[in-house]
Amino acid sequence: MLETPLVAGLGRAGTFCKCQREVRKQNGHKFIQQIFYQWVNWEDMFYKKVPPPFYPLISSPTDTSNFDDEFTKELPVLTPVNSQLTADNQDEFRGFSYVSDLVVNGEKQ
């Protein structure tokens, strides 16, 4: 997200946002004009009328068989790795009650 510098003043914030939106529109327009995608009905795609080309077979909501073993065999790593959070970071979690035992005990993975 593009942030407006304080020196620019609040009146110019709309200009920054408008420019950002226009760039997004231009990039998408360039994309859909590519010859490779000429057969795509972009309106149907936008309104989700196009069926997916592939439906993966899954056995349960937690089935990971469609993911590469390289990723599913990796050990999970807790974040953040620093033991201390800044006050700003801590505010992001205000109201949450769950704390991992690993964090409370100071253990590292």
Cα–Cα distance, 72 to 107 (Å, whole number): 23
Of 63 and 87, more confident: 63
Question: Quick one: pLDDT band at residue 99, thresholds 50, 70, 90?
Answer: confident
Q: What is the DSSP code (8-state) at residue 51?
A: P
Cα–Cα distance, 42 to 25 (Å, whole number): 14
Q: Is the pLDDT of residue 108 over 90?
A: no
Of 20 and 95, more confident: 95
Q: How many angstroms separate the Cα of 87 from the Cα of each of 15, 40, 82, 84, 97?
A: 32, 49, 13, 9, 17
